Amino acid sequence: MSDLDGNSSAPAGDAFGQTQTLKKVKKQKVLLMGKSGSGKSSMRSIIFSNFLARDTRRRGATIDIDLSHVKFLGNLTLNLWDCGGQEAFMENYLSQQRAHVFSNVGVLIYVFDIESRGDVERDLATYVNIISALVQYSREAKVFVLVHKMDLIQPAMREAVFDQRVALVRRKTAEAVSIVRKQKPDASAHPQSPPFPSTQIPDVDLDMQLFATSIWDQSLYKAWASIIHDLVPNLAVIETQLASLGVAIDADEILLFERTSFLVVSKWSSREGERNPYGDRFERMSNILKSWKHTCSKFTGTPRNAEQFSDFEYKMGPNFAMFATKFTTNTYILVCMPPGEARFNSAKLNVAAARPWFRFLDGPPVPMSSSSQMLAGGGYGSEAAGGSES
């Protein structure tokens, strides 16, 4: 079986014996841009290289383009272009290297330094030129704008300052798109697309999201989890499987994390879980577990990119219980549920039994044998571990 792009795919069974198509995706080109000193490389080091925020102060400025291939979930490769933000480099990207840099882009991440008061207009002018180049060569790309270093703004003023910057960036984005619409389309930029008549300019509907971020709190995880979420292959399959698991074990909420970065890949909440008033609880858990991993590394002497723990449990008396455990080769799973020792133990056993249904997360899907399906299906419910506590 193959999809429309010629990529191979295979069916995967869900908890109810149904099949869903799994698609194999190619590499995703991600541009990370912004003026020099805005914090691009620091956030990349924290998310993908397990640096602590305080350790990023030792990083120097990026020279030209720092190209890296980041493996995510075993079946997604991010072709990450960390572009130096010095003026000479920016001019080069927009002139001599324009087609090379801005072609075939899946995601653009542009970082604004909120404290850059003196160069705001210059920074915005560069942003307009970059958006124009992106629309010219990669019209379908998604854009994420991070208003960074928000920790330098007084807490009472952060929301107002962020809203002002959002309005300004949206206005400049509209200007950039209008510039492209007034230009004659470049047929060489889209050789596979039919040429547009000189009197017909294609509509441009830019997909853009904005986030307020800081390397010193969980806001960085919220932004990058949103970025990765749109790139994860087979997301609909993951969400369906996770919901089936949540119902089967009577959980309040389930989070699925990528192993190295601890970014939230997918999540599920019951009706009770949706009543939780803390909207940033998912990225808070990313931050907490990442910090716990750093603590383990510190006291065991193991490399920070190595696996540091297999299980983490927390029981809050009559309020709730939760556990985080190694799930597949490239993921951890966190389950939050009502209190009760029998329910807790049953959930842990059933999560272990559900692992075969998620092994497609680790790479190309492998068809399950009938015996494997029976074994996995037999354990995928509360009855397998003696039932849940009422």
Q: Do 174 and 268 belong to one domain?
A: no
- Identify whether residues 9 and 93 lie together within a single domain: no
249 lies in the same domain as 169: no
**Residue 141 shares a structural domain with residue 215:** yes
Tokens representing 220 are 């960085």
Distance CA(177)–CA(198), nearest Å, equals 17
Q: Is it the case that residue 371 has pLDDT exceeding 50? A: no
Report if pTM > 0.75: yes
- Looking up residue 311, the CATH number of its domain turns out to be 3.30.450.190
pLDDT in tens, 45-91: 888 887 777 777 666 566 668 888 888 887 788 899 999 888 889 99
Contacts 24+ apart (CB under 8 A), 322-327: 323/347, 323/348, 324/257, 324/289, 325/351, 326/259, 327/256, 327/351, 327/355, 327/358
The token duo for 96 is 């001599």
**What b/e readout covers 283-309, taking b as 16+ CB neighbours within 10 angstroms?**
bebbbebbeebeebbeeeeeebeeebb
* Residue 372, pLDDT above cutoff 80: no
Pairing of strands 65-72, 76-83: antiparallel
| Confidence at residue 134, expressed as pLDDT on a 0 to 100 scale | 93
Is residue 16 helix, strand or coil?
coil
Q: Provide the token pair at 286.
A: 């990313």
Q: Which residue among 204, 231, 258 closes a domain?
A: 231
Token pair belonging to 167: 């309005």
Spatial separation of the C-alpha atoms in residues 89 and 287, rounded to whole Å: 33
Claim to verify: residue 260 and residue 214 sit in the same structural domain? no
Q: Which residue would you say has higher pLDDT here, 345 or 55?
A: 345
Q: Is residue 390 over pLDDT 90?
A: no
Q: What is the pLDDT of residue 8?
A: 42
Based on the domain organization, do 9 and 52 belong to the same domain? no
For the residues of 268-309, what is the DSSP string, one character each? Answer: EE-TTGGG-S-TTHHHHHHHHHHHHHHHHHHHHT--TTS---
* For range 20-47, the mean pLDDT: 81
Find where tokens 């939230």 sit.
264
CA nearest neighbour of 254 among 335, 370, 200: 335
Distances (CA, A) of 138 to 43, 198, 228, 387: 25, 20, 19, 52
Judge whether residue 295 has pLDDT over 60.
yes
Mean pLDDT, the chain, as a whole number?
80
DSSP 62: P
**Predicted pLDDT of residue 383:** 38
Shared domain for 210 and 270, answered yes or no, is no
CA atoms of 167 and 206, how far apart (whole Å): 16
- Of 207, 221, 216, whose CA–CA distance to 173 is shortest? 207
Q: Which of 208, 231, 254 is the last residue of a domain?
A: 231
Q: Within a 10 A sphere around the Cβ of 63, how many other Cβ atoms?
A: 9
Domain count within the chain: 2
Residue 107 shares a structural domain with residue 227: yes
- Write down the pLDDT at residue 321: 94
pLDDT at 103 over 50: yes
**pLDDT surpassing 70 at residue 152:** yes
Residue 48's pLDDT is 85
167 lies in the same domain as 256: no
Which residues are 43's β-sheet partners? none
User: What digits encode the pLDDT tens for the residues 108-119?
Assistant: 999 999 887 667
Of 231, 255, 284, which residue constitutes the final position of a domain? Answer: 231
User: Are the CB atoms for 232 and 107 separated by under 8 Å?
Assistant: no
* Shared-domain flag, residues 259 and 385: yes
Lookup: tokens for 284: 């808070």
Contact between 25 and 233 under an 8 Å Cβ cutoff? The reply is: yes
Which is higher by pLDDT, 386 or 246?
246
DSSP 324-370: EEE-STTEEEEEEE-S-HHHHHHHHHHHHHHGGGGGGGGSS--PPPH
Q: Which residue range forms the structural domain that includes residue 172?
A: 26-231
| 102 closest CA partner among 128, 134, 130 | 134
343 and 250 within one domain:
yes
88, 350, 359, 373 from 13: Cα distances, Å: 53, 17, 11, 8
Which CATH number fits the domain that encloses residue 80? 3.40.50.300
Q: Are residues 212 and 262 in the same domain?
A: no
In 3D, which of 217, 240, 345 has the Cα closest to residue 291? 217
